[in-house]
Amino acid sequence: MTEAGGYNFAYLDEQTKRMIRRAILKAVAVPGYQVPFAGREMPLPYGWGTGGIQVTAAVISGQDVLKVIDQGADDTTNAVSIRRFFARTAGVATTTRTAEATLIQTRHRIPEHPLGEGQILVYQVPIPEPLRWMEPRETETRKMHALSEYGAMHVKLYEDIVHFGRIATSYDYPVRVNGHYIMSPSPIPKFDNPKMDRMPALQLFGAGREKRIYAVPPYTRVESLDFEDHPFEVQRWDEACALCGATDSFLDEVVTDDRGGRMFVCSDTDHCQDRRAGAPAGKEEAAQ
Amino acid sequence: MVALANDLPPGFADPVADANAVFRAVLSAISYPGRIVPLPVAPAPPPPLSLAAAAILLTLADLETPVWLSPGLDGDGVRAWLAFHCGCPLVVEPGRALFAVTESWDMLSEFSPGTAENPEQSATVILQVDSLRPGRGMSLRGPGIPDVERLEVPGAGPSLVRALAGNHRLFPRGVDVVLAAAGRLACLPRTIQVTEEASCMSR
């Protein structure tokens, strides 16, 4: 593969990369704090991962192996176009296999396969400010973070309990990083929240429209907010994956016909394929 | 008093790839604090600027980042080299710098620690040291370290530990320190709790 003519390596110019790199380093130094950066226009609309792409473009080297997922899948439009973008502008090798990737850009999932040291996970973030729904003013949320004034967030979760008898937030579930900043984990299902805790890989977050970069360093405490009498818990399914039989992965419900037929399959396509390659038993269940 | 351009030592041989490689080394070092990371490239900066300090400035400093040089490192050669390759403004007051290069940690508290509302506006202090030794010396704990990391800066006494501990207490404010030895570097961001060897042994 060759680099696209007329563009710098990985699309962004070097001065932009320096600015983003400085923001990334400060983000790692202050875990969970949202560092403002001078986000550039990218050849994709906001909402398609422009923040994640800018972080990836500043980090990626010619030796990286890139994986891009959208809701766990490698073969959806967003994932395919971002993967091709970097294959063209940086000439990097790409993969769909989590274990082989050195750099993984993700929209709304953490791969099921545990990530290790040396891997970097880049999240695409739509709304980086976890307090935004409670306090629309940036001047105020900035103060709230500075003073660790997080009562409003607990009130929101408490109101859930009053209305529904449980914390009804099921994705973008707020976390506390290293006992200090409250952070949005991006709209991953809360099923994935425990994977962030003390993950050996570096986690970077890029919000293009809101122009914020934040990070969770490796081996860093990430606690999902909860109450003593309403502890944090993740989603569970009665079904197993119809393709691979997995009972421990995040499942998507897929409607298969117009007569109410449906099946549950792994959201992480690489994980599902791995299991099917190693454990063909699941296929028989699906055929029935 | 500026050296002629053709006397200037070169910057990176491959500005794009070398800057990326150095950034990844620094990113790795700040992600896993206290671990010694080899410098992937070897620029030839004018002395007394060290290889690692020079590589970091070539990678991260530009017209947007005021740089402060300690009196021991400041000189026409270094100034001309930075002006040509980085284009960074050099400042006299340490408190105004985003990057500082120094050989002493006595001044750590004089660099900008940022504000509680904007802790990212703190300085990054590149501390030139003679060498770094893993597995002994200071005990480091915090984000990026599973349990405890050890790092020795030969020749540094308890004053370095005191300076770093004082910086850590400012969190979320505080400077981030890059220890730059010849061809190797390690990072100590403000999140890292630094204690002396002895307190580690007693655990």
Say yes or no: A211 contacts chain B, CB-CB below 8 A. no
Measure A30 CA to nearest chain B CA, in Å: 7
Q: What is the DSSP letter of A140?
A: H
Q: Is residue B62 assigned to a domain?
A: yes
Say yes or no: A26 contacts chain B, CB-CB below 8 A. yes
Give the domain CATH number at B123: 3.40.50.11310
pLDDT tens per residue, range B91-127: 999 999 999 999 999 999 999 999 999 999 999 999 9
Q: Is residue B202 assigned to a domain?
A: no
Q: Is residue B200 assigned to a domain?
A: no
Do the bridges between strand B67-69 and strand B99-102 make them parallel or antiparallel, or are there none, so unpaired? parallel
pLDDT tens per residue, range A61-114: 999 999 999 999 999 999 999 999 999 999 999 999 999 999 999 999 999 999
Catalytically annotated residue among A52, A244, A245, A282: A244
Phi, psi of B184 (to 5 degrees): -140, 155
Q: Which residues of chain B have pLDDT under 50?
A: 1, 3, 199-203
Of residues A5 and A43, the one with the higher pLDDT is: A43
pLDDT tens per residue, range A220-246: 999 999 999 999 999 899 999 999 999
Share of chain A above pLDDT 90, in %: 91
Paired tokens of A221? 């405490």
Q: Is residue B167 assigned to a domain?
A: yes
What's the pTM? 0.94
Chain A, chain B: beta-carbon pairs less than 8 Å apart? 107
Q: Is residue B203 assigned to a domain?
A: no
Domain that holds residue B189: 2-195
What mean pLDDT do residues A251-274 have? 94
Mutate to test the interface with B, among A9, A140, A219, A222 (most CBs of B within 10 A): A219
Paired tokens of B162? 């005191």
Domain total in chain B: 1
**Cβ contact (<8 Å) for A218 and B120?**
no
Share of chain A above pLDDT 70, in %: 95
Q: Is residue B16 assigned to a domain?
A: yes
**pLDDT at position A278, please?**
83
The mean predicted confidence, pLDDT, of chain A is: 93
**pLDDT at position B198, please?**
57
ipTM above 0.90, yes or no: yes
Using a CB-CB cut-off of 8 Å, the residues of chain A touching B118 are 142
pLDDT tens per residue, range A105-164: 999 999 999 999 999 999 999 999 999 999 999 999 999 999 999 999 999 999 999 999
3-state DSSP assignment of residue A150: coil
**Cβ contact (<8 Å) for A178 and B26?**
no
Whole-number Å distance between alpha carbons of A121 and A131: 24
What mean pLDDT do residues A179-200 have? 97
3-state DSSP assignment of residue B55: helix
Which amino acid, residue B82? Answer: L
Say yes or no: A61 contacts chain B, CB-CB below 8 A. yes
